[in-house]
Amino acid sequence: MAFREANNFVKIEGILSEIDLNYGSYVSKVDGKNVDYIGGSIKVLVEQEINGEANVLEVPVYMYSNKLTKAGAPNKSYESIEKVKNEFVSIAACGNKEQADKIRINGAKIKMNEFVGQNNNIVSQTRVSASFVSKAIGEFKPCATFTIEGMVSKILRAVDKDGVELDPARLNVEIIVPQWTPENASAMNVDVVPFVVTNPNVIDAIEQYWTAGKCFKASGRLNFSSRTEEVLEELGFGEAQRKVRTINVSELVITGGTPEPLEGEFAYEYNDIAAGMALRTQKLEDLKSGKKSTAKQAPAPVTSAQTLGF
C-alpha cells in the first residue's frame, strides 16, 4: 500500500553564512558494498519580518546524499551539495556579507530529529532538510517560509511555568505530518511537528475554525534566531547582580491557513494516522531501550484518540 506524503514545502532565500559539509562512507547492509556520501549542514542568514516585526535569522539547513543512486547512476543531489561545499562562499569564509553568496533553496522540508537525551528522555528537534541549493540569480527576496499540511493533534494556549496564560497570548499547535514512506510499508511514517501562533487575528481564526482530528493546511515563517535579555540574580543578601543571557529561538510560526478542513484525497484517514502514530511510538521506545528498531510493521490498530494527542 502506498501512503501519500504530506505537502511540506520550505523556501529559503538568504546569504550563505556557514558551511559544514563533509564526505563519508559506510558499508551497505544490503550488499556489503562501500557507499560514499556527503552530508552535514549549512546556515543561511535571512532578514525578514514575522508578524510585522523585523528579525535576523540564522537558519540551519541539513543536507545529505549518497554519491550514487540505487541504480548506480550519479546522484544529482550529491552533485548539488558537493558544489556548495567546494564552490560556494560563506560569510564565515570571507568575513563579510557583501562577498558571500546569496542562495536560494526551493523544496526543503520540515522534519523532526528525535533522539535519547539525558535521563533517557526523548528529545525532539525541528529540522529543515534540503537536497538542492542554487545561487540566487535575478531579484533577491530574503525569506524563510513554509507551507505544510497534516492532521491537527493539539491546540493549546501557551502558559508560563506557573500555568498562567502568556500576555500577549501565544498558541501552541501540534500537527501530525505524514512523511515519505517506502512502497508497500505497513504504516505511514509520521512526525509530530510543533508550531506557534503569535498574531492575535490568526489565534482567533485557528481557535474558531480548527479542530483536533481534522486535516488542515498551514503557512508561515521560520524563526531560527537568538535574543539577549538582562536578568537580576539574587545572591541571598546585598546587591543583586545583573547578568545577560542568550536565548536561542527555534520556532515555526503559523501566519495563515485554511479555515475549512481538507477533504477527499487531500485529507488523511484517522486510522492511517493512528497506525502511523503507533509505529512512531514503537520506534521511540526502541530508541529508549537502546536496541535496533523493530518497528517495521504497524502495531495493532489504535482506536483511542489519546494516542493522537487529543
278: closest CA among 262, 245, 300, 310? 300
**Domain extent at residue 277:** 8-308
Q: Is 221 inside a domain boundary?
A: yes
pLDDT at 246: 81
Q: Is 3 inside a domain boundary?
A: no
pLDDT at 121 over 80: yes
pLDDT at 300 over 70: no
pLDDT at 235 over 90: no
Q: Is 53 inside a domain boundary?
A: yes
pLDDT at 284 over 50: yes
Q: Is 275 inside a domain boundary?
A: yes
Task: Measure the CA–CA gap between 144 and 255, rounded to whole angstroms.
Answer: 13
pLDDT at 302 over 60: no
CATH number for the domain harbouring residue 22 = 2.40.50.140
Length of the chain: 310
With pLDDT > 90 as the criterion, what percentage of the chain qualifies?
Answer: 76
Task: Measure the CA–CA gap between 213 and 259, rounded to whole angstroms.
Answer: 14
pLDDT at 292 over 80: no
Confidence of residue 298 (pLDDT cuts 50, 70, 90): very low
Task: Measure the CA–CA gap between 146 and 57, rounded to whole angstroms.
Answer: 15
Q: Is 139 inside a domain boundary?
A: yes
pLDDT at 56 over 50: yes
Average pLDDT, the chain: 91
Confidence of residue 218 (pLDDT cuts 50, 70, 90): very high
Q: Is 2 inside a domain boundary?
A: no
pLDDT at 309: 55
pLDDT at 241: 78
Q: Could you tell me the sign of the dihedral formed by the alpha carbons of 156, 157, 159, 165, in that order? A: negative
Query: How many domains does the chain contain in total?
Result: 1
Q: Is 170 inside a domain boundary?
A: yes
pLDDT at 299: 45
pLDDT tens by residue, 4-27: 999 999 999 999 999 999 999 999
Q: Any idea which of 142-146, 168-172, 242-246, 305-309 has the lowest mean pLDDT?
A: 305-309
Q: Which amino acid is at 263?
A: E
Confidence of residue 289 (pLDDT cuts 50, 70, 90): confident
Q: Retrieve residue 114's grid coordinates.
A: 528525535
Q: Is 255 inside a domain boundary?
A: yes
Q: Retrieve residue 302's grid coordinates.
A: 489504535
Residue predicted with more confidence, 308 or 28:
28
pLDDT at 139 over 70: yes
pLDDT at 263 over 70: yes
